[in-house]
Structure formats: structure tokens, C-alpha cells
A and B are shown apart, each in its own frame.
Chain A
């Protein structure tokens, strides 16, 4: 009787293969997810800095008379100029409204500030500097540098982008430590 040799995978081989693929995927999927989250946060911080730079440029170009400035408000992840009468960024052509969350196509974005609060004003003077108070809130003194923390979680944020707004400069950075009770743990800045 002819013995036909059947070439195929054994059950053990299949189990090992599936296990290896499972292990690889279990590493790749979370790191890919983390990477994508990181990219979204990076994009959000880039958008924030870009918007601030545009506002600064508008202040330098259009705020000519004493009292004029460019003031923007960041509230609920939306950047837009305030309607203060001395705000040159509210003049036509108005600085467009920028919903950060929709812009990055994300689902979670939490922005906090070193100076506290839930909505933030930033006013650029006609000198291009960040003012120590704001047009809409002239009594509250802003401590510089002001750091904005962007994260994908309100409480347990491992990923965190930082945007430092100083008198005359803007810097972006990051930190990967779990959020502690103090939000002012240092960021590593990677450039202006």
C-alpha cells in the first residue's frame, strides 16, 4: 500500500504561530495607539503655537495706536479672538475661530494652564510681547511664563504636551510622567 505523506502544520505549530502573532499585536497595537495619541497632541500643540504666532504677527502689524492689542481666548478647546473693541484680531479680516479638537480629529483633549482657570486669555501688545494683563480682564495679573498642558486625559495623563508662552517666545515640549497633584512638573522643551 502506498503511503502518501501529508505535508501540513501541526496543531502545536498553529498554536505557537497564533501565540506569536498575538504577542506581537499586543505590543504593536498599544504602542501604535500611543503614537497616534501623541501625534494628535503634537498636532494640537502645533496648532496652538501657530495660532499664537499668527495673533502675535497681527498685533505687530495692526496694533498701531496706544491701547490696541490682539487678544485671543482659549475656552473649551476653541481658540478665537475676543470681541473687545481694541482687539485688532477681531477686526476684519477676523482671526478665524479654531476648534482644536475637531481640527486634530481627536476624541479627547484636555488643556490646562499653569495659572489655573478653565478659560484663558492671551493678549499680544503692539510690541509683540505677551501682556501681563488682558484687555477683557485687566485686573488679573498673568505670571510669565505661562505654560499650557495638553493631554488626552483629565486625570491620568501619561502623555502631555507643554506650550510655554513667554514674554517674547513660544516653546513646545513634552513630558511622559503620570500627572501628579501638581501640574507644574517640568516639561522637556524641544524647541521654540
Chain B
């Protein structure tokens, strides 16, 4: 016991237990090896993480682009529908068959004396402003050519027509962006020849997506649907339309403002007088005059809420949901 206690002394410990140099090999990594390993591992992980991250970002961006493109297409379709639904038909005086025309614009909508043309053009078309050419993708682009809007929602017919891109990335087919071929960037077919014709419209995107929709477009059976097509090329003026010119619209086609109770429209033309209204027919009350009677060809009083219009020589009343031809 005593001997062991003595050996506990720090100086004597070396005598009691002589130091024997360990011959056991130390297996392990040096600090440098660990640092190099950690660095290499970090580089590899960073590379893999980067690849995965870039891939994720690319997928998210693609989804975002697709959603944005779909949203843009919906907005374009919505505008075409709204403008078409509140438009009037017109007649081309030369009465040419649009299919025989060499020029290509497809849809022509006329509203409040303003002309609106929807067509697909090359993205580098000279009718597009230079900044548009840089901002949008080709090969084709859907544009609206027509006058802009006033704040009250009516077309500013005193303003100059402008070219407004509605949708880009439309397909090119056979060297043409827009024609009557269904495979083009934008094509239209007319379903019927009633006053309110359903037009089938197709937008072919360059990425293969196809948007198809139907919209109500005023068209007069008298013109066999030819009033629906714009055979001209520019759409920028109402006087030059290539295959034909527009007959005076203000004489035969009317869209009452309905902003007062004393409005009256007395047509002077000898052709069909057609009156267009913004809301469904159920919202209007039809009489002969402000107090009594029935709406007739000679005289028709149309009332909505506290606004009214007195019409004369009424061939047809066109509502978004139906057309009415008063007797007489």
C-alpha cells in the first residue's frame, strides 16, 4: 500500500512506471486531410445543389411563363369577345368574296364608327413600333388595329388608329401569320349567317398550344357573312380596304347611347336599319312611345331604367341574347 502511495508522486511516477514509447500506430486523419476532404465535399455538394437549384428554378420559371402566356391569351380572347359582342356589322360596297382577296386580315369588327381589326402579323412587321418588336416573341403576334378607348368605355373615334399587340408567340404556317387557313397563327370560321353569328376562332401558339373559342359577332345574312371579313390589308383606315370599301355605317346601323330619356333616332336610308343594344333583352321595355302601344317598324320606344330612346323605321333590334324584328 505504502509503495503505491509513493508512486503517486509526480516525480517518482516516472521511476515506478518508466515511460515506454508507444509503438502503436495512430490511425486517423490529419487536420489538413480533413480540411481538404471537407472542402472537396463542400464543392461537390455545392455543385449538386446548384444543379438541382437551377433545375428547380428553370421548372418554376417555365410554369410561370406558361401561366403568364395562358393569362395573356385569356385576356386577348376576353377583349376580342367583348369588342365583338358590342360591335355592329357593316357592308363592303364591292361585295367581294373575301376568300378571293390576296390580303390576309381575318376579323374585322366595327363599333361606334371606329374600326377594329384583329389579325396576326410577323413580329418584325413594320406596322409594329420598334419597342414592340423587341418586347414580344415571334414568329407571329396577334394585334388589334383600331382606335383606343375613352375613359367612359367608348371608342375614341376621333383618335388615330393604333396597333396594339394582344398576344405573342403565335405560330407561323406556310410563310403566313394570318389567313383563312385553320393552321395559321390566328384563324376564324363563321358558323352561321344570322344577325348574331357565332364565329369560331383559333389561336395556334408556336409552342403547340391551341386556344379555340366561339364568340358572337354581328353579321347580316343579307351579306352572306362577307361583312365579317376584312379583305383589306392595313385596317388602319376606313376608306382603303383592298377588296372593298365600307358603306356608310351611320346611316343604317345604330347603337343608341341611352344616356337620356329624350334621345331619338330617325334613319334616313332606304336599306335595313339595325339598332344595337348593350344589355340582354330582358332589361329593356319596348313600347310604341313613352306612354303606351307596341313596338313596331314605324315607331319603337326602347326603355331601360330611366333612360330611353325613340326609334323610327326599325328593321331589327339586336340584343346580345336575341334579335327582334318589330312587326309592320
Whether B75 and A133, one on each chain, are in contact in the complex, defined by CB atoms closer than 8 angstroms, is no
The verdict on B102 contacting chain A, using a C-beta distance below 8 Å, is: no
The verdict on A129 contacting chain B, using a C-beta distance below 8 Å, is: yes
Q: Which residue of B lies closest to A87 (CB)?
A: B151
The verdict on B285 contacting chain A, using a C-beta distance below 8 Å, is: no
The verdict on B328 contacting chain A, using a C-beta distance below 8 Å, is: no
- In the complex with contacts A125-B151, A125-B152, A145-B131, A168-B79 CB distance below 8 A: yes
Whether B144 and A66, one on each chain, are in contact in the complex, defined by CB atoms closer than 8 angstroms, is no
The verdict on B134 contacting chain A, using a C-beta distance below 8 Å, is: yes
Whether B156 and A133, one on each chain, are in contact in the complex, defined by CB atoms closer than 8 angstroms, is yes
Chain A residues in 8 Å Cβ range of B82: 127-128
Chain B residues in 8 Å Cβ range of A178: none
Of B47-55, B159-167, B190-198, B291-299, the one contacting chain A is B159-167
- Tell me the chain A residues, 21-57 only, with Cβ under 8 Å from chain B: none
Q: Which of B69, B134, B150, B153 has the most chain A CB within a 10 Å cutoff?
A: B153
What sequence of 0s and 1s flags, for each residue 62-83 of chain A, a beta carbon within 8 Å of any chain B beta carbon?
A: 0100111101000000000000
Whether B131 and A125, one on each chain, are in contact in the complex, defined by CB atoms closer than 8 angstroms, is no
A126 to B152, CA, bound (A): 8
- In the complex with contacts A168-B144, A189-B135, A191-B64, A144-B164 CB distance below 8 A: yes
Chain A contact residues, majority secondary structure: loop
- In the complex with contacts A126-B153, A192-B68, A167-B135 CB distance below 8 A: no
Chain B residues in 8 Å Cβ range of A189: 135-136
Chain B residues in 8 Å Cβ range of A133: 150-151, 156
What sequence of 0s and 1s flags, for each residue 105-132 of chain A, a beta carbon within 8 Å of any chain B beta carbon?
A: 0000000000000000001011111111
- A117, chain B: closest CB distance, angstroms: 18
List residues of B whose CB falls within 8 A of some A CB: 64-65, 68-69, 71-72, 75-76, 78-79, 82-83, 129, 131-132, 134-136, 144, 148-154, 156, 159, 162, 164-166, 257-259
Can you pick out 9 interface pairs between chain A and chain B where the beta carbons lie within 8 Å of each other? Answer: A66-B259, A67-B153, A68-B153, A71-B151, A130-B149, A145-B131, A166-B164, A166-B165, A168-B164
List residues of A whose CB falls within 8 A of some B CB: 63, 66-69, 71, 86, 123, 125-135, 138, 141, 144-145, 147, 164, 166-169, 171, 173, 184, 186-189, 191-192
